[in-house]
Amino acid sequence: MELTIDLPRNYLLHKYFVLFSNNEIHWFLLSPNYRRELKIKQYFESKGIACFVPMQHTYRIIAGKKRLVTVPVISNYLFVKSTYDRLKAEKQTLEQLDMPFKFRMDTMSHHQPIVISDRLMEDFITVCQNQHCKFVGYDKQADIKKGDLVEIVSGPFAGVQGYYARPFKDKCVVVLIENVAAVCTTYIPPKALRLVGKQGELV
């Protein structure tokens, strides 16, 4: 059975929309229960399945002492690259192991799981893995004033595409997975950018 999604006119604003079938490999967003995303990630990786959980460093009080720890940026978010059929089969196994998860569903077509394009996911991971990146919470994404769609042509983020915006103090490139997550680079000067699409042309 092949599942398809109609591409909206403003495709650049919703780059996670891709055509897919049950037996083709894509990036999916899963929502594990009880904050078990790292345990389920470990399980999938033991099966040779690629996964990604955005992580950040923060201080926590442990045994009365302030310690620097690494924790997920967003609780219950797990990006997994596999086929839909494979993940459905693994879902049954994980439920038996008391590690249930749900497929995050597309907000524009509620009967379809969110499927993220390889290019967008690669850019998202590249920025997330930089220690100086900043994340924008889901509840703040609507406040991002999207500028032009650009590609970074030099520096540690070379090749990354996103919106040129100022969600914080300095202008940066925002890699945005609509209604899912957003991550920002450090300051990027205009000379390090190549225009991909003007803001007014993206709607």
So what's the pLDDT on residue 1?
34
The CATH code of the domain at 2-116 is: 3.30.70
Write the DSSP assignment of 27-40 as a string of letters. EEEEEEGGG-HHHH
d(CA 35, CA 37): 6
Alpha carbon dihedral 85, 88, 93, 94, in 10-degree steps, equals 130
b/e 27-50 (16+ beta carbons within 10 angstroms → b)? bbbbbbeeebbebbbebbeeeebe
Task: Give the CATH number of domain 130-201; options: 1.25.40, 1.10.1740, 2.40.50, 2.30.30.
Answer: 2.30.30
pLDDT at residue 200, as a whole number? 57
What would the pLDDT profile of 34-69 be if each residue is shown by its tens digit? 899 999 999 999 999 999 999 998 999 998 999 999
Q: Low-confidence residues of the chain, pLDDT below 50?
A: 1-16, 202-203
Residue-range domain boundaries for the chain: 2-116, 130-201
Q: Which amino acid is at 153?
A: V
End-to-end CA distance of the chain: 32
Q: Which residues pair with 26 in a beta bridge?
A: 82
What pLDDT, on a 0 to 100 scale, did the predictor assign at position 5?
Answer: 31
* Alpha-carbon distances, residue 135 vs 81, 131, 132, 182 (angstroms): 22, 11, 10, 6
CB 87 within 8 A of CB 80: yes
Q: 137-146: per-residue pLDDT in tens?
A: 877 888 888 8
Please enumerate in sequence order all residues whose Cβ is within 8 A of that of 151, keeping only pairs 6 or more positions apart, or say none: 159, 160, 161, 193, 194, 196
In this prediction the pTM is 0.87
What gap in Å lies between CA 43 and CA 34, rounded to an integer? 16
Q: Fold match between 2-116 and 130-201?
A: no
